[in-house]
Each structure stands twice: as C-alpha cells, then as structure tokens.
Chains A and B, each alone.
Chain A
Amino acid sequence: MDMNWAVIYQNLPLFMGGVRMTLTISFMALLVSIPIGTVAGLMRVARSRPLRAVAAVYVEFFRGVPLLVLLIWIFFVLGRFMRLGPYWSAITGLGIFSGAFVAEIVRAGIQSVPRGQSEAARASGMTYFQMMRYVVLPQALRKVLPPMASQFIILIKDSSLVSVISIVDLSMVAKNLVATTFRSIEIWTFTALLYFCITYGLSQVIALCERKFRMDH
C-alpha cells in the first residue's frame, strides 16, 4: 500500500489546532455538566417530590435524545433565538447532554452510601444539609470517580459530533485534510491516536485522584 506520512508532519499545526478545539469544547462542556449533573443528581434523591420529578424529566429527556439531533436543534433553534453561535451551542449541547449522565452517576453514588450512615448522622442531630455535606457526599465522591472517568472519556469522544455545526475540532480537521489530500489512512490513524492520547491522559489523571481519595490509608 502506498503510504505517505509526510502529510501528517506537514499539517501538524492544523492537527494541533483541532486538538486544542476538542480539548476546549470538552473542558467547557465538563464545566457545564458537573454542576448541572450534581444538582440534578441531588434533586433525584431529594425528599421533595416536585424536585425529584423535575430532575427525572431532565435526565430522561436528555438521555433519550441522540446528541447529534440535540446539537443540531440547539444550534438552529435555540442558538438562533439566543444568538449562541456554533461554539456556545456546542458547549451547551454537550454540557446538558453529559449532565444527564453525570446526574445518574451522582444519584447512584449517593444511593450506594449505606442507610446506616445517614441514619447515624441524623441521630447525632445533623440537618439534612450537614448530613449530605459531611457524611454522604464525601463517601459518594469516592464511589463516583470511576464511572465519572468513563463519562468524561465518553464526553471527549462525543465532542467529535460538534463538527456538524461547523466547529473545527480534531475530527473536522481530519475530515478537511482527507478531502484535500486523499490520505485517509494516514490521517484517520493519526487522528485516532490523538484521541487516544487525550482520553488516556485523562484516565491517568483520574486514577491519580482515586488513589488520593482512598479511604483507608
């Protein structure tokens, strides 16, 4: 097979621009999805029925819509009314979408803390807020890290869909280069490698956090 890896080398600045965009969009979406997901997850275990219902609707709806459709909808419908532009449409779409999954992870984390823990806290006179803050959430956090890591990796990979609303991220750079150079094998191989480096780096960082938060050391 005829291979020409020079195409990678010659277009390195373009690739790096794509990587930068992918990282920025993913990171911003992460910043959106963590608070939204945490609040929604807390609401799902709240005592108030209306709060639980609102959170359930959020989770079910955004889990149930394909990200591609959501991105396009936000860009063309919401984005037009709110003048979001592609960049902020992408961040909003990815953030809200990922937030629904984060919410489920947070809920599962809270529910994995044994009942006896919250009971001991309440029996000592703590308010609901104190019980969450000092007893339940610190334990939930440790259980939540591994699934959170997977979720963030999925987020980075999902971010490749933002090219449909004309964001020049890593996958868009690759597509454009293939269109002009016809070197699809080299370009897609290198692109896959770049995605892998990003996600692997992230999982290493999270593994480090996990070690730091281990309970019995």
Chain B
Amino acid sequence: MDTNSGDVMVSIRGVSKHFGHLEVLRNVSVDVPRSTVFGFIGPSGAGKSTLVRTVNALEDIDSGEIWVDGVSVHAPGTNLNRLRTEIGLVSQSFNLYPHLKVLDNITLAPIKVKGRPKAEAEERARALLASLGLGDKAEVYPTRLSGGQQQRVAIARALAMEPRLMIFDEPTSALDPELIKEVLDAIRGLAQTGITMLLVTHEMHFAREICDRIVFMAGGEILESAPPEEFFAHPRTQRAREFLSAMLDR
C-alpha cells in the first residue's frame, strides 16, 4: 500500500479508539488528497472531534495507522513537535493566549518553535491580520475582541506557522449567529489557496459549498463518504437522511 504517495496528505487506516469501555472510533479509514477540503459531519458524539485530533496526536489511538504527508503520526519514533508545526488547529473555543497581545499570540510559536527572527515573524503576522480584516487589532489583548474576531486571530495564529494541513473543529459553533459569516468567509478564502483542510462543522450549507468531499460519521464509524452534491442530494443511509432532515429544518 503506497501511503507515501505524493498526492495523499492525510491517510487514516483502520483506526480504532476507546475511552474506557466506550468505542469512539471503529476501524475508520479515509484518504485525504493534497489540496482538498474534507468536511466531517454527523451527530453529536459521532467521534468527529476525536478523529481529527488523532491526526495531530492530541489524541492517541488503540490500533490502525495515520499518515500525514508521509509521516506515520503514531509511530514511536515520530517527532510530534516537529509534525505539529505543519498542522494548524482551530477549535471551537478559540484558545487565544489571554496574557499576550494579538500580535504576540501569532508570533509566539513562529519565534519560539520555528526560530524565526522577530521582525520577520511580526511582519508576516501583520500581513495575515490585514488579510483577515484585523489590521488594526495587532496591539490589542484578545479579551477585547468579539468572538468572531478572536476566531479569526486563531486562524491567523495557525496560518503563521505556514502549515501544510489545517484542521477546523467546529470553528463557528461557539459564535453568535451574526458573527459566523466573518469566520466562514475567512475559511472560504483559505480553502481557495489550495491548502488541505479537515473541517468538522454543523454548517451544512457551508460544508456543501466549500468541501470537495463529505464524510458522514455516526457511532464512531464512517457511514458515507461522497462528493457534496451527491451526499446532500442522495444520502445513501437512513442515518444520514435522518441527520440531514434534522439539520436542514433548523
């Protein structure tokens, strides 16, 4: 099996995981080609967050294997810190560092982890902030920002590491409805740059619009994986049909 093939960015092979007696992932396999956006959807507790968090080893796995750009993530000798610099993570609760100004939030890892010169890191941070419509927020503390602004800073912070892969875990579900759009716009802009993305979301219209493929999970398993037009028009499983009708009625 050619897991190192140049056009697969993330390869998840037969991954299983338990929390105590609870089986959270059951023999999950999925290949994410380079420069594609994969949307992970499914009911609460399906294992979506757990799955995407195994990709940068924030969660470990019981069996199976995960490759990111040719590196076996959970192999014993893997340099996880090195690997994580290549993977940006944006989660539901922005997790900005409250004791640092926006600019320092963004430059901390580039300077300390990647050893970038301060001036260069700050220049890049300012450019990222400007591109996300936050050009005037560099010197502000995160607590002074709205949720939507905080989440865009979190996106800028992840991008500052120049990742090859971005993981979004419900990036808008902690936001007030009127703030969701600005974050979705930022993610949409990012998708167009050709970076590989894993996106866990409950925003069905958005997933349909920007994803190259939809992965539907329930009960720790992948029940369907299809292009969005196909999945949303003709879900094959009963479980997906129920889920979609519940979601789209909201």
Contacts and interface: CB of A to CB of B under 8 A. Distances in A.
Interface in B53-69: 56, 58
Nearest to B158: A124
Interface residues of B, number: 27
A216 B81 contact: no
Contact of B58 (A123, A126, A130, A142): A123
A138 B82 CA distance: 24
A138 B112 CA distance: 15
A112 interface: no
Interface string B136-152: 00000101100000000
Contacts of B158: 124
A196 to B, nearest CB: 34
Interface in A18-62: none
Contacts of B143: 215-216
A134 B144 CA distance: 21
Contacts of A116: 91, 93, 95
Nearest to A213: B99
> How many residues of A sit at the interface, in one of the four size bands?
20 to 34
Contacts of A125: 81-85, 109, 113-114, 161
A124 B161 contact: yes
A158 B157 CA distance: 48
A120 interface: yes
B183 interface: no
Given A123-B58, A125-B85, A142 B99 contact: yes
Contacts of A114: 95
Given A120-B95, A124-B113, 5 more contacts: A117-B95, A119-B91, A134-B112, A138-B99, A215-B141
Q: 4 closest Cβ contacts across the A-B interface?
A: A125-B85, A124-B109, A116-B95, A120-B95
Interface of A: 114, 116-117, 119-127, 130, 134-135, 138-139, 142, 215-217
